[in-house]
Structure 1
Amino acid sequence: MKSPITGNEMKLIKERRSMDFRKETFEIVFHYYKCEDSGEQFTTTSIDEVNMNQVYNQYRDKFNIPFPDEIIRIREKYGLSAAKMSEILGFGVNSYRQYEAGEMPSVANAKLIQMVDEPKRFIDMMELCGTLDEKVKTRLIQKAQLLADDKKRNIFNLNFKEYLLGNHMADIYSGYRNPNFEKFTEMVVYFSERLSPFKTKMNKLLFYADFLMFKQSCFSISGVRYKAIDMGPVPNNFQSIFEYLANEDEIDILTTEFPNGYSGEQFKARKERNFNADLFTEIELETLEKVASVFKETNTNDIIKLSHLEEAWKKNEKEKKVISYEYAFELNQI
């Protein structure tokens, strides 16, 4: 960005600052451009969003307030409009729509939203709503009962996926997303289609995609946690996840024998299993494309070396710790 005062290029500065929101104080990595000649500081709309999203994310985490994607998911599983969900919960007519767009709910409203994620609680709220047409109420209650029954039938599969990715709530170690097994699967399919990488490279591609997305928006793509191991950052529990995806025919993993006696597991896309772009936003797709393009010609050994230059790995590898997404702001190899 050029200085509006001198016309010279300005340096992007990142420093820790405290910011207040709803009588709470949070420490963030504050971004701004600095004009070296005048000493003035400037921001852009996108940088303002990064700064404020850090504050909002910490506030949601502290008070257990659902994130917009979770608020949307809860409504959509009942097949409701935002206005109708607002009516059922007793909010203002546009409140639920505004919460989906990013406005922060009160703690009380947040608890109501989380409560109706459970179909039985949703039915209780339906029974209390006196403004709904009886036919509509009956249809929605039946829908909720079916969801409750489906949950019981699929409990093993749901619990196994939770075991693979973790059932933790959104926080700084998940990129402020709840783990999304479907999106993570599609990320693996995407890189398998584009690059056919070996397993170690696949782990790095996934890391760079999630962390680059967080650097740009303060949200990861998949909600997956990453650990620092000797070979660089990897998704937590990656061995079991990849084995599950192969067993479910989401991708093929082929073992290749090398002349030096080593073997490698290479990811190959299945002809009948195409990448589903509909699960992703435009910026998420652009992020996947950038990672694939940047590392297209990078071999496994080189991407390991590059990942070892990242603070995310250097600050966590000795203790093999889960990596905070805050290190995304220090990415330097993409």
Structure 2
Amino acid sequence: MTNPVCPTTGAPMQRGVRPMTLDYKGASITFDMPGWYCEESGESIHTGEDMKVSDRALNRLKAEREGLPSPEEVKRIRTKLGLTQEQAGELIGGGPRAFQKYEAGDLLPSRAIGSALALLDHDPSGLAVLSARPHPAPTSPSFGELRAGD
């Protein structure tokens, strides 16, 4: 992105990082938010990549307030169980890319995933129970999902 101009003043904006605070259910988190900033008006513009920073911070705060595991906790338990991210997604739930997203902080694990992780952290032998269950193989799209030319 080339240097944008401020929508309020028309002044050129500069790339930088500023502290930002988010609140959720009586708790707050302050983090460094990248973006384009106008020195004159205080306005800011944020790209999709910039917004990932605030989304991850909000997810971390929500996890803390809702009693869900943090990205670091998800990774710690998964590695303790000796699973790849894909294996964890297939056995515990969420699909093959879910644990990549949980561990990056891009997605909050559900309460069910959090509970399963807590149980497996306490008693890793429970993984044998999950492994013994049938897991559906990936399927091809049905006829109705195919489009002409696919």
Tell me the TM-score range normalised by the shorter chain: 0.5 to 0.7
Are 2:40 and 1:4 equivalent residues in the alignment? no
Cα pair distance change 1:94/1:64, threshold 3 Å: same
Structure 1 stretches of 5 or more lacking a match? 133-334
| Number of corresponding residues | 124
* Equivalent residue, structure 2, for 1:123: 125
SS in 1 for 2:82: coil
Please identify which structure carries the higher helix content. 1
How far apart, CA to CA, are the structure 1 residues paired with 2:20 and 2:101?
31
* CA-CA distance at 1:109 after TM superposition: 1.0
Q: 1:42 aligns with which of 26, 41, 45?
A: 45
Q: Identity over aligned residues, as a percent?
A: 24
Q: 1:101 aligns with which of 101, 104, 120?
A: 104
How far apart, CA to CA, are the structure 2 residues paired with 1:94 and 1:53?
17
Query: 1:12-27 maps to which residues of 2 (within 5 A)?
Result: 13-14=18-19, 16=21, 18=23, 27=28
* Equivalent residue, structure 2, for 1:88: 91
SS in 1 for 2:125: helix
How far apart, CA to CA, are the structure 2 residues paired with 1:75 and 1:44?
32
Cα pair distance change 1:86/1:25, threshold 3 Å: same
* Equivalent residue, structure 2, for 1:67: 70
SS in 2 for 1:104: coil
* CA-CA distance at 1:106 after TM superposition: 0.8
Deviations 1:260-319 (A, max 9, x none): xxxxxxxxxxxxxxxxxxxxxxxxxxxxxxxxxxxxxxxxxxxxxxxxxxxxxxxxxxxx
Cα pair distance change 1:28/1:77, threshold 3 Å: closer
Query: 1:260-279 maps to which residues of 2 (within 5 A)?
Result: none
SS in 2 for 1:105: coil
Structure 2 stretches of 5 or more lacking a match? 6-10, 136-150
* CA-CA distance at 1:17 after TM superposition: 5.3
* CA-CA distance at 1:45 after TM superposition: 5.3
Q: TM-score with structure 2 length normalisation?
A: 0.58
Cα pair distance change 1:97/1:48, threshold 3 Å: closer
Letter in 1 for 2:104: A
- C-alpha contact 1:10 1:36 (8 A) present in aligned 2: no
Cα pair distance change 1:90/1:57, threshold 3 Å: closer
- C-alpha contact 1:3 1:35 (8 A) present in aligned 2: no
- C-alpha contact 1:18 1:28 (8 A) present in aligned 2: yes
Structure with higher Rg: it is: 1
Cα pair distance change 1:35/1:45, threshold 3 Å: farther
How far apart, CA to CA, are the structure 2 residues paired with 1:89 and 1:8?
46
Cα pair distance change 1:125/1:69, threshold 3 Å: same
Q: CA RMSD in A?
A: 3.5
* Equivalent residue, structure 2, for 1:58: 61
Cα pair distance change 1:125/1:48, threshold 3 Å: same
